[in-house]
Structure 1
Amino acid sequence: MSRSLTKILKIFIPLLLGIFLIWYSLGRSTPAEREQLWESILQANKWWILVSFILGSLSHISRAYRWKYLLEPMGYKPLLSNRFMAVMVAYLANFGIPRSGEVLRAVTLSTYEDVPFEKGFGTIISERVADLLILMLIIGISLLLQTEELLTYLADQNINPLYTFFIFFGLVGIIIVCLNIIRRSTWAPFKKLKNLAKGLLEGMKSILKMKRKWAFILHTLFIWTMYVLMFYVIKLCLPETADTPAGIIMAAFVIGSFAVSATNGGIGVYPLAVGGILIFFGVEAHAAEAFGWISWATQTFVVLLFGGLSFIFLPVLNNRK
């Protein structure tokens, strides 16, 4: 199979899967159920949706601000505006090509702020490790609040979050070992890769050299608090979910966090996964599915709006480069 065909498949298979899941979800419901779902979405309290939008925006601004703590130890001080726009175009890119955003984010900073790609990308890997640790903490809290029910649901869906963590940290460990081997090797084919390996390692180690570690930690906690609150306030949009216990909402957040990476931007999968676990906990089907769609649509709109504007204004505001 050619490389070009492989790339095309990586882009379109997740997208087609998401479209199929939307079609399947709507197709298996009756016209009355679809009408009820649509009415629930239309009648949702728009003010709480706006609050969710604002909270999501604050999380992205904080992520852009936090990035400076990893870049400063290497001597780079890019503008906050460029860091924010790099973050948003990265999220937007993931809707087209899953996992391409991290690369584009590093490329953007390299283009407009002269931060070497390999160093910028290394800091992004370190960020992901920190974020995954917080997600593990949230999963732990969710398990404490809804232990038996959440474990039953995960077992029914053949989902084991520990596999994700082991795979991620295993890959990070393998990457570090390989980069060190390349950096120290005298083998001719590795010579061209030495600078790349050195830069990636420097970027990843920047998290250990930060002067303001507590500021980085506080921003990380703030980012994930905004993520959770952005999701949580959606329950107040619908009368059927307004009294849903916090533990159930946290369980739905955890499931949604894993579902969002299954397809391009979680299209199809995210609303179904979130709605499915709420139904599992006894929420009415039309309200549970409406919750999933409203939550996904709000998060998606934040990315589409700021990501689209960032694509436009990055070259405009950096016209000298």
Structure 2
Amino acid sequence: MNPKLIKFLKIILPLALGVFLIWYSITSATPEERQKTLQYITQADPKWIILSVIMGIISHLSRAYRWKFLLEPLGYQIKLSNSFMAVMAGYLANLGIPRSGEILRGGTISTYEGVPFKKAFGTIISERVIDSIMLLLVIGITLIFQSQDLFLYLEEKITNTFILLIALIGAILLGIVFLRIIKKSSHPVLIKIKNFGEGLLEGVKSISKLKQKSAFIFHTFLIWVLYIAMFYVIKFTVPETANLSIGPMLATFVAGSIAMSTTNGGIGAFPIATAAILFLFNIEKPAGEAFGWILWGSQTAINVIIGALSFLFLPILNREK
């Protein structure tokens, strides 16, 4: 296939999928459900939305500050303002073209701080690896919080406790066999999985080379705690979700995080994914989708506003460069 066509499809398909999901979400709902969803959104308590947005901005600032720690061992001391604006400009770019934000971010800091693009982009990849590990950690914590519900569900499907135990042991053994196959296989797909796993290990090892390891680890956890917190407080904007415990909210957070990578900035996919998980916890579809749209809309709006301002102020604040 033509490389230009492949590149075009990579850009247009996620956007088309997002538009389709919005259309599907609207048309698949009854007039009553659409009216109820809109009612939830318009009646949402603004103080929780503002708190969520503030947490989001602080997490972006923390990410910009953490980036400085990755560049220091390479011999570069960058301004926090430039780092922050590069991060926000990257978020804005990702809404148009998926993953273009990482390239723009690297190019921006290369232009205004003199960091070679390859080195800047390499630190962004390392950052992504660390964030992948954090997402896996959150998934693990979610499984612990929801373990009781998971076991109850399995017991409904598998009534014999002995069979359930055998199934769990079998799953562990299959995992071990799969790891051994990956290690020895030359199949392209399995090699990619192997390289991804090795990349995760390298990302962890890279922390040991940092001059300020403790600060880097602190900001990494701060970013993800804020992500979960800005997600959690939005539950108070919808009466039906207000009393949900941390377990269901973590499960919804994981679904939303995965949905963000399927379309441009999660457009269309995010509200549907969060509503689907909330439905499992007896939250009706209009309330679940309202939750998703309130969270996605508020965070996307602030990314667009600050991202656009970053594009404007970067050349102004760096006239000498």
TM range (shorter): 0.7 to 0.9
> How big is the shift at 1:6?
2.1
CA displacement, residues 161-180 of structure 1 (integer Å, 9 cap, x when unaligned): x99xx99863446789xxxx
Equivalent residue, structure 1, for 2:42:
42
- Alignment of 1:10 with 2:34, yes or no, is no
How do 1:121-136 residues align onto structure 2 when only pairs under 5 Å count?
Answer: 121-136=121-136
SS of 2:261's partner is coil
Aligned counterparts of 1:16 and 1:66: Cα–Cα separation in 2: 34
Instruction: Specify the code of the residue in structure 1 equivalent to 2:71.
Output: L
> How big is the shift at 1:306?
1.1
Is 1:125–1:204's contact at 8 Å kept on the other side of the alignment? no
Equivalent residue, structure 2, for 1:292:
292
Aligned counterparts of 2:34 and 2:133: Cα–Cα separation in 1: 39
Equivalent residue, structure 2, for 1:316:
316
Change over 3 Å in CA distance of 1:65–1:168 after alignment to 2: farther
Aligned counterparts of 2:148 and 2:85: Cα–Cα separation in 1: 42
For normalisation by structure 1, the TM-score amounts to: 0.83
CA displacement, residues 220-272 of structure 1 (integer Å, 9 cap, x when unaligned): 00000110001000001111111011100110001111110000000011110
Q: Which runs of 5+ in 2 are unaligned?
A: 155-174, 179-189
SS of 2:241's partner is coil
Is 1:274–1:288's contact at 8 Å kept on the other side of the alignment? yes
Aligned counterparts of 1:150 and 1:15: Cα–Cα separation in 2: 34
Change over 3 Å in CA distance of 1:289–1:52 after alignment to 2: same
Identity of aligned residues (%): 55
> How big is the shift at 1:302?
2.1
Instruction: Specify the code of the residue in structure 1 equivalent to 2:3.
Output: R
CA displacement, residues 90-140 of structure 1 (integer Å, 9 cap, x when unaligned): 111111111111111111111110000111111111111211111111111
Aligned counterparts of 2:118 and 2:312: Cα–Cα separation in 1: 25
- Alignment of 1:170 with 2:194, yes or no, is yes
SS of 1:240's partner is helix
Equivalent residue, structure 2, for 1:217:
217
CA displacement, residues 204-234 of structure 1 (integer Å, 9 cap, x when unaligned): 9864421110100000000001100010000
Equivalent residue, structure 2, for 1:259:
259
Equivalent residue, structure 2, for 1:230:
230
Equivalent residue, structure 2, for 1:104:
104
- Mean CA deviation greater in 141-150 or 79-88: 141-150
Q: CA RMSD in A?
A: 2.5
> How big is the shift at 1:2?
2.9
- Mean CA deviation greater in 91-100 or 222-231: 91-100
Aligned counterparts of 1:208 and 1:104: Cα–Cα separation in 2: 28
SS of 1:283's partner is coil
Equivalent residue, structure 1, for 2:270:
270
Aligned counterparts of 1:263 and 1:6: Cα–Cα separation in 2: 16
Equivalent residue, structure 2, for 1:181:
none
Is 1:70–1:206's contact at 8 Å kept on the other side of the alignment? no
SS of 1:209's partner is coil
> How big is the shift at 1:282?
0.4
Equivalent residue, structure 2, for 1:240:
240
Aligned counterparts of 1:285 and 1:117: Cα–Cα separation in 2: 45
Instruction: Specify the code of the residue in structure 2 equivalent to 1:48.
Output: W
Aligned counterparts of 1:135 and 1:218: Cα–Cα separation in 2: 16
Instruction: Specify the code of the residue in structure 1 equivalent to 2:75.
Output: G
> How big is the shift at 1:280?
1.5
Change over 3 Å in CA distance of 1:27–1:307 after alignment to 2: same
- Matched length: 286
Aligned counterparts of 1:61 and 1:233: Cα–Cα separation in 2: 20
Change over 3 Å in CA distance of 1:58–1:167 after alignment to 2: farther
Is 2:129–2:199's contact at 8 Å kept on the other side of the alignment? no
Instruction: Specify the code of the residue in structure 2 equivalent to 1:170.
Output: K
Equivalent residue, structure 2, for 1:302:
302
Equivalent residue, structure 2, for 1:61:
61
Aligned counterparts of 1:207 and 1:86: Cα–Cα separation in 2: 22
Aligned counterparts of 1:167 and 1:14: Cα–Cα separation in 2: 25
Instruction: Specify the code of the residue in structure 2 equivalent to 1:49.
Output: I
How do 1:125-164 residues align onto structure 2 when only pairs under 5 Å count?
Answer: 125-147=125-147, 149=149
Equivalent residue, structure 1, for 2:184:
none
SS of 2:283's partner is coil
Aligned counterparts of 1:50 and 1:122: Cα–Cα separation in 2: 34
Instruction: Specify the code of the residue in structure 2 equivalent to 1:124.
Output: I
SS of 1:224's partner is helix
Aligned counterparts of 2:309 and 2:40: Cα–Cα separation in 1: 30
